[in-house]
C-alpha cells in the first residue's frame, strides 16, 4: 500500500517534469500569491507599528492641549497691517487644569521663531520656553551641560540650551558651553547642548509634527519676561500680530484608567472658558485605540488583496490541469482498461496539483521572508536613480520597515495548499469520470 502511494507521487512529479516550463509558470503563480500574503501583511504591520509608536511616544497617560488659531482670526493677504485678538490656551487655563485631582503634572510650553546670532553667524531658530519636565516629556537627551533647572526657572535666568544642529551652525568647532548668543535684544548664556533628536510625524488631526533640529530652550518664566505674549511677524510685505500665552500644555494623569474621564473633564472646562474653538485636545490613548482598529482593518484589506493573487494562481492550476487531462485522455483510458479505479485516477491528478502547490508555497514563504532586504533595495534604487519619485512618496512609505507577522507564514502556506486541492479537484474528478471506450478512441 505504501509502495503504491509512493509510486503515485513519483508518477505525479514525473508527469510535471515532462512539461517543465508549463509547470514552472504554474508554480510561479502560487509563489507570487503566497509571497504577496506575507509581503503585504508585513508592510501593513510595519506602517501600523510606526504609527502606533509615534502615538505611544506622546504618552498613553498624557492629555495634550494645543492652541489653534481660529478661522475668525485669520486675515487676508496683501500688505495690510492687522492685529489678532488673543486666542489659545491661557495661563489661567493652565492654573485651573492643574487643580484637577486626577492630574499629577502639568507642563507648559511657549514657542516662537526668532533669529539667533553668535558673532557674525545668524540662524533662524525656534525658541521654546519650557519647564524642566519638558526634557523627559519629549525624551530628549542632554549631550553636554544641563537642561533648564528649577532654580533657573524661578530666577528667570537668561540661559539657553541649544539643539545639536543649532550648536553646530552657530559655533561650528567651538565649544558653546559658557558662551553667549543674541536673541532679539537680549543675550543668553549657553548652559547645555542636546543630542540629536529625530523629527516626529504629525499625529491626529491637530497634532503637527515636531522638528527639534532648530530648537533653543529657555526657562518659561524667562520667555514671558523677555519675549512676552505678543509677537509680530513680517512675511511677504505684510505684518501680522498675535497675542498668545501658551502654545501647548501637556497634562500627565496619575492613573491610566482615569485618562478618558479626565479628558472629558478637560474638554468641559475649556468649552466653558472659551467662546470659540481656539484649542485642540489630543488624547494619545484614544488615538492608540483608533490606530489598533485601523491596523486590524488594514491588515484584513491587505490580506484580501493577497488572497486574490492566490486565487488567480489557483485558476492557473485548474486551467493547466484541464489541458493536461485533455492531452492524457488516451493514457487515462488505458489505465482504466487495465484495472485502475476512479479513485486512482483522481488521486494521480490531485497529487500533481498538490506538488505544484507545495513547491509554490515553499518558495513563496522563502520569498516572503526577504521582504525586508527587498524593500531596502527598492528604497536604495529610488533614492539613487529616481529621487523625485522617492520624495513624492508619503513619509510613512519612505520610512516603512516591514515587520513579518508570524502567523502569516502558516496562513499563506495553508491557503496555497487549499487552493491547490480546491482548484485541482474538478480536473481530477473529470479525468476519473471519463468513459473508458471514449477515452481509448481519443486521438490527441
Per-domain residue ranges for the chain? Answer: 2-54+290-369+404-441, 62-254
CA–CA separation, 240 vs 212, rounded Å?
25
Q: At what angle do helices 20-57 and 2-17 cross, to 10 degrees?
A: 90
Paired residues of 130 in beta bridges = 109, 219
Average pLDDT for 209-218: 86
Inter-residue contact 439 to 336 (CB < 8 Å): yes
Report pLDDT digits (tens) over 352-386: 888 888 888 899 899 888 888 888 887 787 777 77
List, as own/partner pairs, every contact residues 264-273 make where C-beta atoms lie below 8 angstroms and the sequence separation is at least 24, other chains included: 265/100, 265/102, 266/63, 266/65, 266/97, 266/100, 269/93, 269/96, 269/97, 269/100, 270/65, 270/93, 273/92, 273/93, 273/96
Joined together, the cell numbers standing for residue 269 give 472646562
Average pLDDT for 348-355: 82
Integer angstrom CA distances of residue 51 from 271, 295, 372:
29, 10, 18
Contacts of 161 (CB under 8 A, 6+ apart): 142, 145, 146, 147, 148, 190, 191, 192, 193, 194, 216, 217, 218
Arithmetic mean of pLDDT over the chain:
80
Question: pLDDT value at position 220?
Answer: 95
The pairing of strands 62-67 and 248-253 is: antiparallel
Average pLDDT for 311-318: 80
Contacts of 412 (CB under 8 A, 6+ apart): 33, 34, 35, 37, 38, 306, 310, 361, 364, 365, 368
Lowest pLDDT segment from 113-127, 159-173, 204-218 = 204-218
Report pLDDT digits (tens) over 247-301: 999 888 888 778 888 888 888 888 888 877 888 888 776 666 666 667 777 777 7
Q: Is the pLDDT of residue 74 over 60?
A: no
pTM for the model: 0.61
Inter-residue contact 402 to 43 (CB < 8 Å): yes
Question: pLDDT value at position 256?
Answer: 75
Q: Per DSSP, which regions of 213-287 are E strands? A: 215-219, 230-235, 238-243, 248-253, 279-282
Question: pLDDT value at position 387?
Answer: 74
Q: Is the pLDDT of residue 54 over 70?
A: no
CA–CA separation, 281 vs 63, rounded Å?
7
DSSP label at residue 22? H
CA–CA separation, 36 vs 42, rounded Å?
10
CA–CA separation, 81 vs 75, rounded Å?
10
Question: pLDDT value at position 80?
Answer: 46
Check the CA dihedral 194-160-103-263 and report its sign: negative
Average pLDDT for 405-431: 83
Using pLDDT thresholds of 50, 70 and 90, give the confidence band for residue 75.
low
Report pLDDT digits (tens) over 177-200: 999 999 988 999 999 999 998 766
CA–CA separation, 267 vs 100, rounded Å?
12
Residues 207-242 as b/e (b if ≥16 CB within 10 A, e otherwise) read beebebbbbbbbbbbbbbebbebeeeeeeeeeebeb
Percentage of the chain exceeding pLDDT 90: 20
Question: pLDDT value at position 139?
Answer: 82
DSSP label at residue 99? T
DSSP label at residue 256? G
Using pLDDT thresholds of 50, 70 and 90, give the confidence band for residue 58.
low
The pairing of strands 180-183 and 103-118 is: antiparallel
Question: pLDDT value at position 411?
Answer: 84
What end-to-end distance do the CA atoms of the chain give, in Å?
33
Average pLDDT for 121-130: 93
Amino acid at each position: 500500500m505504501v509502495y503504491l502511494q509512493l509510486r503515485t507521487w513519483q508518477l505525479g512529479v514525473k508527469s510535471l517534469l515532462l512539461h517543465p516550463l508549463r509547470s514552472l509558470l504554474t508554480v510561479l503563480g502560487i509563489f507570487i500569491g503566497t509571497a504577496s500574503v506575507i509581503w503585504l501583511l508585513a508592510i501593513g504591520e510595519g506602517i501600523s507599528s510606526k504609527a502606533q509608536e509615534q502615538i505611544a511616544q506622546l504618552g498613553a497617560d498624557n492629555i495634550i492641549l494645543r492652541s489653534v488659531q481660529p478661522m475668525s482670526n485669520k486675515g487676508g493677504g496683501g500688505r495690510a497691517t492687522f492685529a489678532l485678538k488673543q486666542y489659545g490656551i491661557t495661563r489661567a487655563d493652565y492654573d485651573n487644569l492643574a487643580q484637577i485631582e486626577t492630574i499629577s503634572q502639568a507642563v507648559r510650553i511657549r514657542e516662537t521663531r526668532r533669529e539667533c546670532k553668535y558673532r557674525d553667524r545668524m540662524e533662524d531658530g525656534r525658541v521654546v520656553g519650557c519647564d524642566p519636565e519638558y526634557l523627559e516629556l519629549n525624551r530628549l537627551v542632554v549631550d553636554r551641560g544641563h537642561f533648564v533647572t528649577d532654580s533657573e526657572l524661578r530666577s528667570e535666568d537668561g540661559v539657553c540650551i541649544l539643539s545639536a544642529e543649532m550648536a553646530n551652525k552657530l559655533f561650528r568647532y567651538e565649544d558653546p558651553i559658557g558662551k553667549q548668543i543674541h536673541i532679539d535684544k537680549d543675550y543668553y548664556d549657553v548652559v547645555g547642548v542636546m543630542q540629536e533628536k529625530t523629527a516626529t510625524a504629525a499625529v491626529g488631526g491637530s497634532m503637527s509634527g515636531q522638528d527639534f533640529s532648530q530648537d533653543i530652550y529657555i526657562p518659561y518664566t524667562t520667555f514671558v519676561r523677555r519675549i512676552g505674549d505678543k509677537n509680530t511677524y513680517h512675511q511677504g510685505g505684510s505684518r501680522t500680530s498675535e497675542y498668545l500665552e501658551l502654545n501647548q500644555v501637556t497634562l500627565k494623569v496619575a492613573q491610566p484608567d482615569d485618562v478618558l474621564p479626565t479628558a472629558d473633564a478637560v474638554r468641559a472646562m475649556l468649552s466653558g472658558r472659551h467662546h470659540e474653538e481656539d484649542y485642540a485636545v489630543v488624547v494619545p490613548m484614544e488615538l492608540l485605540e483608533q490606530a489598533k482598529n485601523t491596523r486590524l482593518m488594514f491588515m484584513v484589506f491587505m490580506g484580501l488583496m493577497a488572497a486574490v493573487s492566490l486565487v488567480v494562481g489557483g485558476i492557473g492550476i485548474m486551467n493547466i490541469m484541464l489541458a493536461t487531462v485533455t492531452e492524457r485522455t488516451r493514457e487515462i483510458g488505458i489505465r482504466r482498461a487495465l484495472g485502475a479505479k476512479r479513485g486512482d485516477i483522481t488521486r494521480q491528478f490531485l497529487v500533481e496539483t498538490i506538488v505544484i502547490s507545495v513547491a509554490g508555497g515553499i518558495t513563496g514563504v522563502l520569498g516572503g521572508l526577504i521582504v525586508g532586504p527587498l524593500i531596502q533595495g527598492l528604497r536604495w534604487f529610488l533614492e539613487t536613480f529616481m529621487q523625485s519619485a522617492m520624495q513624492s512618496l508619503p513619509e510613512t512609505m519612505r520610512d516603512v520597515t516591514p515587520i513579518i507577522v508570524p502567523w502569516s507564514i502558516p496562513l499563506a502556506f495553508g491557503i496555497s495548499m487549499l487552493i491547490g486541492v480546491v482548484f485541482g479537484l474538478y480536473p481530477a474528478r473529470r479525468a476519473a469520470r471519463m468513459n473508458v471506450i471514449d477515452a481509448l478512441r481519443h486521438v490527441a
